[in-house]
């Protein structure tokens, strides 16, 4: 590949994604706020730069995989942001952010002659490493077509949701809400079984093979049944951010989501108990505690 891709954010998800781009033959310029966390990619051939602006080139492609809306906006249009340098290029935002933020970024890029494609992902770090991510996209068709080969190097499938910049982020937030709701439901069911003398793992195994034979119930069911929350696949503190974005979007859309409100309070309680560093499925610990189990 002759094209150079700018990549910003080399955390648990970003590092394996950037490495897959290198393996696909792309030249990759990497910026990470904590430079040491990106050094492993340098040994694989990535070029490390000092500022977000340095990853961008006119008519180029820059991917962001960052923790929150503020980080994405700052790297794009804050001090030394890459947005003004992109001129004719495309910002591919793969972070979980608010649809309203996506709309704002798309407008700002247009002002500077660039374009914006939303491409949030479903999948844990192991899926990112194995190129098994599911990628949701939205934005202008021409620019989605241009970045498709790049996204093909990162995932097992690309599902498009139209030209509205924030549409893919609505899907991403909806999916995270469903995962969290399923986790809470499994925690309650498994705890009910445990208090009646039935092994949590037996319940998870049964339902994962029968009524709920699907990846979320199988994977998260195992985590919750075995109470396996460390190391995290996705930190609970970030899950709280996401469910809060769900509720913000619901409010703006005039959609009551009472279950999401409950989940936000459960996540807030877990963070207040010092569990923000654990996997987000650790909200199940609150169910056990409420039932009098250690």
Ordered DSSP codes for 165-217? TTHHHHHHHHHHHHHHHHHHHHHHHHHHHHHTT--HHHHHHHHHHTTT-SHHH
Residues 11 and 129 both lie in one domain = yes
From 146, 163, 180, give the residue that closes a domain: 163
Among positive and negative, which fits the CA dihedral 278, 126, 249, 179? negative
Residues 122 and 18 both lie in one domain = yes
> What does DSSP assign to residue 46?
P
Q: Is the pLDDT of residue 1 over 70?
A: no
Instruction: Answer for the pair 14, 46: CB distance below 8 angstroms, yes or no.
Output: no
Catalytic residue among 29, 108, 144, 172: 172
Q: Which of 112, 101, 103 is nearest to 72 (CA)?
A: 101
Kindly report, residue by residue over 241-261, the tens digit of the pLDDT. 999 999 999 999 999 999 999
Q: Which domain holds residue 266?
A: 170-290
CATH number for 69? 3.40.50.720
The verdict on whether 144 is a catalytic residue reads no
Residues 85 and 151 both lie in one domain = yes
Residues 130 and 256 both lie in one domain = no
Average pLDDT, the chain: 97
Kindly report, residue by residue over 135-190, the tens digit of the pLDDT. 999 999 999 999 999 999 999 999 999 999 999 999 999 999 999 999 999 999 99
Residues 159 and 176 both lie in one domain = no
Residues 56 and 113 both lie in one domain = yes
> How many C-beta atoms surround the C-beta of residue 81 within 10 A?
19
- pLDDT value of position 37: 81
- pLDDT value of position 36: 83
- pLDDT value of position 116: 98
Residues 42 and 96 both lie in one domain = yes
CATH number for 236? 1.10.1040.10
Kindly report, residue by residue over 46-73, the tens digit of the pLDDT. 999 999 999 999 999 999 999 999 999 9
Residues 33 and 142 both lie in one domain = yes
User: In the chain, how many domains are there?
Assistant: 2
């Amino acid at each position: 590949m002759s094209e150079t891709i700018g990549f910003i954010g080399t955390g648990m998800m970003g590092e394996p994604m950037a490495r897959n781009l290198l393996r696909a033959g792309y030249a990759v310029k990497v910026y990470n706020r904590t430079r040491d966390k990106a050094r492993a990619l340098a040994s694989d051939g990535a070029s490390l730069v000092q500022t977000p602006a340095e990853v961008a080139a006119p008519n180029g492609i820059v991917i962001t995989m960052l923790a929150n809306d503020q980080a994405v906006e700052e790297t794009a249009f804050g001090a030394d942001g890459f947005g003004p340098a992109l001129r004719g290029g495309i910002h591919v935002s793969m972070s979980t952010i608010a649809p309203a933020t996506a709309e704002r970024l798309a407008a700002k890029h247009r002002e500077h002659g660039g374009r914006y494609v939303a491409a949030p992902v479903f999948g844990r770090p192991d899926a990112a490493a194995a190129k098994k991510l599911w990628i949701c996209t939205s934005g202008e068709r021409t620019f989605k077509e241009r970045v498709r080969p790049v996204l093909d190097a990162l995932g097992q499938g690309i599902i498009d949701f139209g030209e509205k910049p924030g549409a893919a982020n609505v899907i991403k937030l909806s999916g995270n809400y469903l995962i969290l709701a399923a986790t809470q439901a499994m925690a309650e069911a498994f705890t009910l079984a445990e208090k009646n003398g039935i092994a949590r793992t037996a319940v998870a195994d049964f339902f994962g093979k029968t009524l709920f034979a699907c990846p979320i119930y199988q994977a998260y069911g195992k985590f919750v049944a075995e109470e396996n929350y460390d190391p995290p696949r996705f930190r609970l503190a970030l899950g709280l951010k996401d469910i809060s974005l769900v509720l913000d979007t619901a409010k703006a859309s005039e959609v009551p989501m009472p279950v999401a409100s409950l989940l936000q309070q459960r996540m807030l309680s877990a963070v207040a108990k010092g569990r923000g560093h654990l996997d987000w499925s650790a909200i199940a610990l609150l169910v056990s505690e409420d039932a009098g189990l250690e």
